[in-house]
Structure 1
Amino acid sequence: MQKNSYIRFDWAIKRLLRDKANFSVLEGLLTVLFNDKTKIVEILESEGNQQRDDDKFNRVDIKAKNSKGEIIIVEVQNTRELYYLERILYGTAKAITEHISLGDTYQEVKKVYSISILYFDLGKGNDYLYHGQNRFIGVHTNDELLITAKEEGAIIQKLPQEVFPEYYLIRVNEFNQVAKTPLEEWVKYLKTGIIDPDTTAPGLPEAREKLRYYDMSPEERHEYDEHVNAIMIQNDVLNTAKLEGHAEGRAEGRAEGRAEGRAEGRAEGRAEGRAEGRAEGRMEEKLEVAKNLKQLGISTDAIAQATGLSLEEIEHL
């Protein structure tokens, strides 16, 4: 580690940024993302806030309430997950229901922002930042619906996106630009851990002061290094498993297919033998790789993504 190195954001968000004295770092990221000065009032409890021994490198999130009473979920995901979109949908739905009491009117439903900082490839796209929200557009007229309601004698007009959750997906690995804007400086830090000494981007000067690697105690540095190593090992295991599974499965399949084809002595038999041999070879290899990953404590979703096996097949190993 070099003197100017800074703690990874996923570690900071798990250990340091929950402290009110450090809110300014996270407020800076939210300010540049929303293009609006954001003030955090408190950190809220959620399942993702819990620090568990088996959560070594994935599913790091923080749930906060801003000065407008809106709820903001910030999540860091280091490795692939099969049902990631479903999970962030569930997270926003749960946040809404957690913060409305039985008997409250629907007027009390809070706006939720979901921010995902992704260190893996989620589909295809050319941008490093994607934003999605609910809008109702006329099928034939292409105009946007403006909701009108009567409230305490006044006519209230609002757009659906003022109520529905908004989703931000930051694809960290896709950022390959020279950082010129505050948002780009933030994504550069998320990707490389580097913060320019003369930065004025909201939150980053505070991050330079609060997230220095060498300001941690030796025990904290050791724990942090283990965390970084765990991420690297898991990514190596998943990538190696995919490559080895493909190569060995193809090799075994070809060998078995040739043997069965020769035994039958017919063109049709050779074709069927090769096909069946390849399929069996690939399946055996996938099962073996999945079994090894399971023994290493890799999540079922990550194993399914790496091997192509179903969750049920993995659970029965």
Structure 2
Amino acid sequence: MGKQGDEEQLLSFLNAVLAKTECDVLTSIAIIENTKITPDVLGDKSCILDVRAKTADGTKIEIEVQLANEYNMIKRLLYYWSREFVVNLNSGDNYQELPKVIAIGILNFSLLTVPEFHSTYHIWEDNNKKCKLTDDLELHFIDMKKFRKLKNKDIENNPLHRWLSFLNEKESDETIKKVINMDSGIKSADEKMKDLLKDKESLIHYQKREFAITEYNNALLRREEKGIEIGEKRGIKKGIEEGIEKGRSEEKLTIAINLKKQGFTPETISKATGIPINEIEDLQ
């Protein structure tokens, strides 16, 4: 959904998500293909989003997908929101020109204690929940794990249920066919996926990415296990923190070695792991 030409499927998906907060139906959207926000605005940390877009009224929308719990998603999404909020404000500009930003996190793990698979957040006055400070901050969290457990999925009447069923790798072929036929945006997304996978280069890239995701998830699991091990002696929370720190260097090396075996360039591996290029070149 992040390239120009993907507007139909992105509009369909966003309208399905934003229906919960009663936003006006989007009729047009401009996709921002540059998904990297450079570190020249806030400090020295850059960020790369999965999808960036802008509506006709100037509202910015960003989508971030996380497959594994890195225990930083809330602050990560807030950080992305803040970067998008101020990225185009230059010295002397009017603060009133700052745009509304909607950040959407699609998660393959349970993060929040609310029972709903789709939760939304704004800024409210603590003792007067009907008093919203501003509409400029809007966060959405979509929990795919909770959605999969939902017993009565309403694909007939709920567009978001249709989209998440389509994005659910464990969904039945019968349901996938139904939602494709029900929604032109989903049909467009399905056709693009099929076209991409016919291309040899795209298929190789997809397979490498799948391998990298598997390796990364395994590394996170090993890191968590180390944390629990230490936690038995020093407390689970503190142990997990120490385990994460202790296992980080070892796991980065493991990931780097496996990515190198799969043909990734030292530059790409360095960006993914933070290991200097010269050290990656020496890895066996």
Residue 51 of structure 2 aligns to which amino acid in structure 1? I
Tell me which residue corresponds to 1:198: 178
Deviations 1:133-165 (A, max 9, x none): 11236x3xx4744xxxxxxxxxxxxx6443x21
Q: Please, what is the CA RMSD of the aligned residues?
A: 3.5
Pairwise CA distance, 1:44: 5.7
2:14 to 17, 21, 30: 30
Tell me which residue corresponds to 1:149: none
Pairwise CA distance, 1:77: 1.4
2:140 to 163, 168, 171: 168
Q: Secondary structure at the match of 2:50?
A: strand
- Give the percent of matched residue pairs that are identical in Structure 1 and Structure 2: 22
**Structural mapping, 1:244-259, within 5 Å:** 246=228
Q: Distance in 1 between matches of 2:80 and 2:146?
A: 25
Deviations 1:284-316 (A, max 9, x none): 987764442131348xxxxxxxxxxxxxxxx9x
Matched, 1:78 2:62: no
Q: Secondary structure at the match of 2:142?
A: strand
Pairwise CA distance, 1:83: 2.9
1:296 to 251, 254, 260: 254
Residue 170 of structure 1 aligns to which amino acid in structure 2? I
Deviations 1:210-237 (A, max 9, x none): 1227743122112101211221222223
Structure 1 pair 205/102, CA: closer, same or farther in 2 (3 Å)?
same
Q: Distance in 2 between matches of 1:207 and 1:239?
A: 32
Pairwise CA distance, 1:103: 2.0
Q: Secondary structure at the match of 1:21?
A: coil
Residue 74 of structure 1 aligns to which amino acid in structure 2? I
Q: 2:35 touches 2:52 (CA, 8 Å); kept in 1?
A: yes
1:45 to 34, 37, 42: 34
Pairwise CA distance, 1:129: 0.8
Deviations 1:241-278 (A, max 9, x none): 4336645x69xx9xxxxxxxxxxxxxxxxxxxxx69xx
Q: Secondary structure at the match of 2:61?
A: strand
Q: 1:213 touches 1:221 (CA, 8 Å); kept in 2?
A: no
Segment of structure 1 superposing worse, 227-236 or 118-127:
118-127
Deviations 1:153-198 (A, max 9, x none): xxxxxx6443x21000011122122431211121222332756223
Pairwise CA distance, 1:70: 0.6
Q: Distance in 2 between matches of 1:203 and 1:125?
A: 29
Structure 1 pair 286/215, CA: closer, same or farther in 2 (3 Å)?
closer
Larger RCO (CA under 8 A, 6+ residues apart)? 1
Tell me which residue corresponds to 2:153: 179
Structure 1 pair 206/48, CA: closer, same or farther in 2 (3 Å)?
farther
Tell me which residue corresponds to 2:208: 226
Tell me which residue corresponds to 2:194: 212
Q: How many residues align?
A: 230
Gaps of 5+ in 2: 39-46, 257-274, 276-284
Residue 209 of structure 2 aligns to which amino acid in structure 1? H
Q: In terms of Rg, which structure is larger?
A: 1
Q: Secondary structure at the match of 2:224?
A: helix
Q: 1:173 touches 1:191 (CA, 8 Å); kept in 2?
A: no
Structure 1 pair 286/83, CA: closer, same or farther in 2 (3 Å)?
closer
Q: Distance in 2 between matches of 1:73 and 1:20?
A: 15
Q: Distance in 1 between matches of 2:226 and 2:255?
A: 19
Structure 1 pair 42/296, CA: closer, same or farther in 2 (3 Å)?
same
Residue 182 of structure 1 aligns to which amino acid in structure 2? P
Residue 105 of structure 1 aligns to which amino acid in structure 2? N
Give TM-score, length-normalised by structure 2: 0.68
Structure 1 pair 48/80, CA: closer, same or farther in 2 (3 Å)?
farther
Q: Distance in 2 between matches of 1:193 and 1:62?
A: 24
Tell me which residue corresponds to 2:84: 95
Q: Distance in 2 between matches of 1:165 and 1:32?
A: 19
**Structural mapping, 1:257-296, within 5 Å:** 289-296=247-254
